[in-house]
Structure 1
Amino acid sequence: MTQETEATAAASGTRATERFREHKQAAAGTSPERVSRLASRVINAINDTVLEEKVTYDEYNAFKAWLIKVGEDGEWPLFLDVWVEHSVEQVANEHRHGTKGTIEGPYYVPNAPELASPATLPMRPDEPGTPLLFQGRVTNVDGEPLAGAHVEIWHADHLGFYSQYAPGLPEWNLRGTVIADADGYYQINTIQPAPYQIPTDGACGQLIAAAGWHAWRPAHLHLKVSAPGYEQLTSQLYFQGDAHLSDDIASAVKPELILDPTPRADGAGKEVTYNFALDPAE
């Protein structure tokens, strides 16, 4: 049987590209003036770099070959989500007064199974890792509970792999949409995910190696929290003490998003409480 550790950058990149095409739409109605302004700024920035850094033809051709490889490996979603999305997210959410957001990343899958709280995420019978009880409450910014709010959660396993992006994992492993109770409370039983390196056997890994960077993301939970009449929140929550909180390759960590789990009284792993406050929809 194929194992998750046999995942390749090309396979996961292709899957991420397919998901993007299935579920993301290009912005409709963008004016020619706006397209011209944005495209001109990006092109001018590249040309300014060439002139200021005295880029050679060898370097230019290496760059061209690398761009071609990014496409061949299907890694544009990974490249953009790791190195660009954090700035887009900052612009998109700068108006919020409630809980902080951060990037979605390339491994989201919609329509995860719905589970009533208290819930246990789908997982293998012998799922490795430290059990984690993740719980809290969903309210609006005034502290009023949002009954039936949806807490959609997905995360990597103890080896840093995501279901549907690595072979050998059940389809919905460690993915679910948990429905909060009448008072906005949710409880989710899962396992604490591991830090992981983004795929390094493809074009993005080639860039990382050439630049002498590291490829690590701190361990994190992905979340989308929603309720009728309120803006959906997309965020990630990290874990105190992780070695890469200060140098996340995706630049997505914020102090407000760091968890500090404590041992459960019954000795069955750890637990942590985190509350979400949603902004009203405009």
Structure 2
Amino acid sequence: MSAPTAPSPTAAGSGRNATERFAEKQRSTAQVDHARVSAIATNAITALHEVIREHRVTYAEYDALKAWLIRVGEDGEWPLFLDVWVEHVVEEVANADRKGAVGTIEGPYYIPGSPEFRSEGTLPMRDGEAGTPFVFQGTVTDLEGNPLDDARVELWHADDDGFYSQFAPGIPEWNLRGTILTGPDGRFAFTTVKPAPYQIPTDGSCGALIAAAGWHAWRPAHLHLKVSAPGKQLVTTQLYFAGGQHVEDDVAQAVKPELVLRPTPAASGTGEEVTYDFALDPA
């Protein structure tokens, strides 16, 4: 009798998992500022009214919009939709005054609690994990360049097929996810594999929007990071690769010039490496 075949990952499945993970996040208990909610909601609805007037939206198009909005919820793709097309502007506003390391969007696939290492480590990965061997290293400092002891550098990225562990079946729990705690010198070094460009999910409602609009669905190859230290501001960011596909036309509009890496051949003679430092703003 043959062994059961693991289910194949799908975009819609990843979307549902992202929605479930988001629902598990702790909600704020702060009192609602009714005036602020009213102002933001009124402006957003008014802006939509102006789009309808400008483009003379028909009832058929309105009904198609309603059906699509319902499908986004059924597919569990609201986190995907918002993180791809909205989050980059929220991040821009939230970090406008940051003087140190440059941030960008988090995306829907972050999971806290990844395996920890001190100063250096190899991300968990499968035997024969596809991708070019890659070392990502650097130093975490304050704005004056002083190294930060016990800084946390969290790294996660997709596999060579564009799927993230814990959001697609058949992938080990912490595959390509890890955290390094720096020593007094502020140094960190991850050994992993270089990620590849991938399409955001196209078999669900977000894919239907992309197809209807004639857009492309590609994200450039990227590393996700969260970097923090006691008394410093957390920075959430992504790092891309110079000359890579879709660095210039990322569907999520998250690429910034300061976030583009230029790897070189690794000193070990195998694969590539790059050094990238993080200067953290005071909390």
TM range (shorter): over 0.9
Contact 1:129/1:158 (8 A) holds in 2? yes
What is the CA-CA distance between 1:45 and the residue it aligns to? 1.0
Contact 1:9/1:73 (8 A) holds in 2? no
Q: Match for residue 119 of structure 1?
A: 121
TM-score for both structures, normalised by structure 2: 0.96
Tell me the distance in 1 between the aligned counterparts of 2:61 and 2:127: 51
Matched, 1:273 2:272: no
What does residue range 28-43 of structure 1 map to in structure 2 within 5 Å? 28-43=30-45
Q: Match for residue 165 of structure 2?
A: 163
Match of 1:216 among 215, 218, 238: 218
Tell me the distance in 2 between the aligned counterparts of 1:13 and 1:27: 27
Q: Match for residue 112 of structure 2?
A: 110
Structure 2 residue matching 1:139: 3-state secondary structure: strand
Matched, 1:86 2:88: yes
Structure 2 residue runs of 5 or longer lacking an equivalent are none
Tell me the distance in 2 between the aligned counterparts of 1:145 and 1:266: 26
Aligned in 2, Cα 1:213/1:24: closer, same or farther, shift over 3 Å? farther
Match of 2:136 among 134, 137, 140: 134
Q: How many residues in Structure 1 have an aligned counterpart in Structure 2?
A: 279
TM-score for both structures, normalised by structure 1: 0.97
Q: Which runs of 4+ in 1 moved over 4 A?
A: none
Tell me the distance in 1 between the aligned counterparts of 2:88 and 2:26: 18
Q: Match for residue 230 of structure 1?
A: 232
Match of 1:63 among 62, 65, 71: 65
Tell me the distance in 2 between the aligned counterparts of 1:189 and 1:25: 35
Structure 2 residue matching 1:102: 3-state secondary structure: coil
Tell me the distance in 2 between the aligned counterparts of 1:26 and 1:19: 16
What does residue range 245-260 of structure 1 map to in structure 2 within 5 Å? 245-260=247-262
Tell me the distance in 1 between the aligned counterparts of 2:148 and 2:98: 17
Tell me the distance in 2 between the aligned counterparts of 1:260 and 1:131: 15
Tell me the distance in 1 between the aligned counterparts of 2:272 and 2:193: 9
Percent same amino acid among aligned pairs?
Answer: 63
Match of 1:181 among 180, 183, 192: 183
Counterpart AA for 2:110: Y
Counterpart AA for 1:72: E
Q: Match for residue 73 of structure 1?
A: 75
Q: Could you give the per-residue CA deviations for residues 114-149 of structure 1, whole angstroms, max 9, x where no partner exists?
A: 112220011112211100010000001110110121
What is the CA-CA distance between 1:63 and the residue it aligns to? 0.4
Tell me the distance in 1 between the aligned counterparts of 2:29 and 2:232: 22
Counterpart AA for 2:149: A
Structure 1 residue runs of 5 or longer lacking an equivalent are none
Q: Match for residue 2 of structure 1?
A: 6
Match of 1:16 among 15, 18, 29: 18
Tell me the distance in 1 between the aligned counterparts of 2:208 and 2:31: 36
The Cα RMSD (Å) is 1.1
Tell me the distance in 1 between the aligned counterparts of 2:34 and 2:196: 44
Aligned in 2, Cα 1:77/1:50: closer, same or farther, shift over 3 Å? same
